[in-house]
Amino acid sequence: MIRKFFLYTLLVIGLTTFAQRNESTLFFKDCTAETFKENLDVLADSSLLIDARTKRAYKRSRIKGAILGSEISTVFKLVKDYPKDRPIFIYSESGDESLTVSALLMRKGYNKIYNLKDGLDDWWRAGFKLDRSRVKISLVTL
């Protein structure tokens, strides 16, 4: 709980500093599972969905259509040519890792970030489906 508060405080400070230096409109939404899914359903065709969990967790289950971004260097490779004004949806197991990734992406200029606040645990508790199909990690990493 303290770690999440600390990360959230850093995110707010970072975004405030970034907003003062950047004239583009910033959008960050820390979403419940229901809000995350609603927005993802509407924006799925024009967005990127990143799973910020470990490779092992990703192989076990994921939100359908998610791309593995377990390391920040991999996330930066995934978004390298991605337009900075298009939506990016990010989740992790509990929401902590994805909050950190969200802050780093916003510092890089990506300005439409949706974070699954309480992570994949909340998604599952809300009764939403998980993709448990077998996946080869080499196909989804860069």
pLDDT in tens, 45-94: 999 999 999 999 999 999 999 999 989 899 999 999 999 999 999 999 99
In the structure, what pLDDT confidence band is assigned to residue 21 with cuts at 50, 70 and 90? very low
pLDDT at 136: 79
For residue 71, give the amino acid letter. Answer: E
Predicted confidence (pLDDT) at residue 138 exceeds the cutoff of 90: no
pTM for this model (two decimals): 0.81
For the domain made up of 2-139, the CATH class stated in words is alpha beta
Q: How confident is the model at residue 23 (pLDDT cuts 50, 70, 90)?
A: very low
Distance CA 50, CA 102 (A): 10
pLDDT band of residue 16 (cuts 50, 70, 90) is: very low
Q: Is 43 exposed, middle or buried (0-12, 13-18, 19+ CB in 10 A)?
A: middle
What pLDDT is recorded for position 20?
44
Instruction: Give the residue from 76, 77, 98 showing the smallest Cα distance to 142.
Output: 77
